[in-house]
Structure 1
Amino acid sequence: MILTIIQPCVQMQEVDTMSIGEEREPSKDLLISIVNGNDRGYIYECVESIIRNTQGITYDIVVIDNCTGDARLSELEEMGATLMRNERPMGFSSNHSQVLPMLDGYRYLLVFNDDAYPANNAFGMMIRELDDEPTTAIAGCRIIGVDGEDQPGAAPFPGLRYFVTNALGIDRDKGARYPRIFTEYIDFSKSGYVDWVSGCSMMLRTAFIREHGFLDTGYFMFLEDTDICRRARAAGYRVKYMAQATVVHYGGGSSKVKGKGITPQLYIETQRSRLRYLKKYTLMSYFLYWGFINIYVYLKVLKSALSGDMEWVNGALSKTKKRLLT
């Protein structure tokens, strides 16, 4: 295996710009984009809960099926959702970007996970607050697990220190569920302005997307939410965490294989996303992390091979054979 450095001057721009046609007066409040990316059936509870709990706004739901092979998908259309079917699996940003041509006529776009559902009129609350705050471009909500515990819905922008300590597993206190970057940053029971909010449930102004673009499709999965919030902050907009708007999240259902947790392929994609993020915003940190994570991943592969965990080895090498760095 040969590590090959790609020069940092490679063009990074893969942000989807608006392709929604001529701007016209919006006729509806919200377009909800959901990617169905697993075979656990979460999507049906998700759509049912949205219909049951969302009040006081006009909205439409689009479900993008990411090649799940689910035979029940026609039920979603019977519920009133628009169904799109991928011919090949796509990443988070590329999937949600498919709704952009449909966005004209809506004031807001909601990116929402298929393994989540609103516990109250969360989307109505978010729209009312955004209507009152024209300088806020992006909003997120309180995310609670099925166990009743808060999940990270907002955090400060990550950097080299967090990525390294997280990779090494030393970024949290003993027995803590989440890294300190989340637990020390915000009281999740209180609303406030933050660096970024989770793409599990993220609402964006259509006007902002039209002017500054959408999710960066160079990310396959992870950090695309952080990236767009960083671009919004750099453009002078605010990002708000809204604790009163609550969604329940099963957690990891969109990115795990049933019974096995995060796959080695997705682990590698996580590292690629981190490298892309650092390359865009802090070049020196990018080089340092590139050296660290390449060594760490190949040591992890070697350790797995020696212990006989060939599933992890084969899964990781299927990705790293094209270079970890992209």
Structure 2
Amino acid sequence: MDLSIIIVNYRTYELTKQTINSVIETVIDLDYEIIVVDNASCDGSLEKLIEDFESFNNITFLANKTNDGFAVANNLALKESVGDYVLLLNSDVIVKENTINKSLNFIKNNSNIGILGCKVVLPDGTLDKACRRSFPTFEVSFYRMSGLSKIFPNSKRFNRYNLSYLDENGTYPVDCVVGAFMLIRSNLLKECNGLDESFFMYGEDIDICYRIKQMGYEVYYYGEYEIIHYKGASGKNKKLLYEFHNSMEIFYNKHYKKQDSFLINALTYISIWTLYYLKLLVLSLKTIF
């Protein structure tokens, strides 16, 4: 089989249905399967999706009894997948015409590429900056958090985090792409034992890019084709805010802590959790007012 497409659903019935339909409508002449994993939604969305797509033999539905995170759900589907390539696809995206076919063709024809991401745009047509990034080293993160990346948006030094100085419609190697659309060679993903389940949500996409690059493969941004990402459609709350910043610490501990000095380690932790508490305060004030 050419491709296994994995979609994780968590209380996003309408969006998930829209995502699946966009795949069905745009993928042509491929032997593919869709595996939908429901993360204990308990809102009837899984049952409705099964009913909606019961006539499609290439769509499989799996159910987690508890929500143990995005990585766990993807790994559950990965064990059942049979495609030569795996596409991790968010449940809040619309796939545009030719995106999957062209992306698959590109990675097939470039054996040095382990992971491929496409252009990701928000509903207003602007670029989702997370779709092509550098790894969040202390230096790269400092330039972003200090505001230097905004002051010098075209600087190769100061704006390495979001790579805004590069053509958003271009094709080139990057450190990492976003998990909303991540096309991966199945054998490499399975060799890595899937996504790291230490990450509940956020960070697992950067981590798998890091690990596959360590194996000697390239991560590529393919900006000629795109998806629309309804980012944050599942809502923002204190738990997600915590998980976002916790994922930063997990990634740092896993890949940079040992090589950085004690001072850099301390500054990193202070920065992560100061930012978290500031955002938590803002979120709490918004709730009150």
Match of 2:26 in 1: 53
Structural mapping, 1:60-99, within 5 Å: 60-77=33-50, 78-79=52-53, 80=56, 81-99=59-77
Q: Is the 8 A contact 1:154 1:186 kept in 2?
A: no
Secondary structure of the structure 1 residue equivalent to 2:162: helix
How far apart, CA to CA, are the structure 1 residues paired with 2:150 and 2:286?
31
The structure carrying a bigger helix percent of its residues is 2
From 195, 201, 218, the counterpart of 1:238: 218
Match of 2:11 in 1: 38
Deviation per residue, 1:116-142 (Å, 9 max, x gap): 021112111111111111121111111
Match of 2:83 in 1: 106
Q: Is the 8 A contact 1:155 1:185 kept in 2?
A: no
My pick for the range that moved more, 214-223 or 106-115, is 214-223
The alpha carbon displacement at 1:291 in A equals 3.0
From 198, 203, 217, the counterpart of 2:197: 217
Name the CA shift for 1:87/1:95 in 2 (closer, same or farther; >3 Å): same
How far apart, CA to CA, are the structure 2 residues paired with 1:250 and 1:274?
23
Number of corresponding residues: 271
How far apart, CA to CA, are the structure 2 residues paired with 1:311 and 1:148?
29
Match of 2:241 in 1: 267
From 276, 282, 287, the counterpart of 2:250: 276
From 182, 188, 192, the counterpart of 2:162: 182
How far apart, CA to CA, are the structure 2 residues paired with 1:204 and 1:165?
30
From 114, 121, 140, the counterpart of 2:98: 121
The alpha carbon displacement at 1:253 in A equals 1.5
From 117, 134, 137, the counterpart of 1:156: 134
How far apart, CA to CA, are the structure 2 residues paired with 1:296 and 1:124?
40
How far apart, CA to CA, are the structure 2 residues paired with 1:299 and 1:33?
35
The alpha carbon displacement at 1:240 in A equals 1.2
Tell me if 1:292 matches 2:266.
no
The alpha carbon displacement at 1:243 in A equals 1.5
Name the CA shift for 1:162/1:71 in 2 (closer, same or farther; >3 Å): same
Secondary structure of the structure 2 residue equivalent to 1:73: helix
Name the CA shift for 1:189/1:67 in 2 (closer, same or farther; >3 Å): same
Secondary structure of the structure 1 residue equivalent to 2:233: coil
How far apart, CA to CA, are the structure 1 residues paired with 2:239 and 2:245?
10
Letter in 2 for 1:107: D
Letter in 2 for 1:158: P
Q: Is the 8 A contact 2:13 2:45 kept in 1?
A: no
The alpha carbon displacement at 1:171 in A equals 5.8
How far apart, CA to CA, are the structure 2 residues paired with 1:304 and 1:229?
32
Q: Is the 8 A contact 1:164 1:289 kept in 2?
A: no
Q: Is the 8 A contact 1:223 1:273 kept in 2?
A: yes
The alpha carbon displacement at 1:92 in A equals 1.4
The alpha carbon displacement at 1:244 in A equals 2.3
Secondary structure of the structure 1 residue equivalent to 2:2: strand
The alpha carbon displacement at 1:163 in A equals 4.0
Letter in 2 for 1:268: Y
Deviation per residue, 1:46-86 (Å, 9 max, x gap): 11110000112111111111222343534433422211222
Tell me if 1:206 matches 2:186.
yes
How far apart, CA to CA, are the structure 1 residues paired with 2:87 and 2:229?
16
From 113, 118, 121, the counterpart of 1:141: 118
How far apart, CA to CA, are the structure 2 residues paired with 1:187 and 1:271?
29
Q: Which runs of 5+ in 2 are unaligned?
A: none
The alpha carbon displacement at 1:212 in A equals 2.8
Secondary structure of the structure 2 residue equivalent to 1:222: coil
How far apart, CA to CA, are the structure 2 residues paired with 1:200 and 1:94?
16
Secondary structure of the structure 2 residue equivalent to 1:96: helix
Q: Is the 8 A contact 2:37 2:64 kept in 1?
A: yes
Q: Is the 8 A contact 1:39 1:70 kept in 2?
A: no
Q: Is the 8 A contact 1:193 1:238 kept in 2?
A: yes
The alpha carbon displacement at 1:145 in A equals 1.4
TM-score by length of 1: 0.75
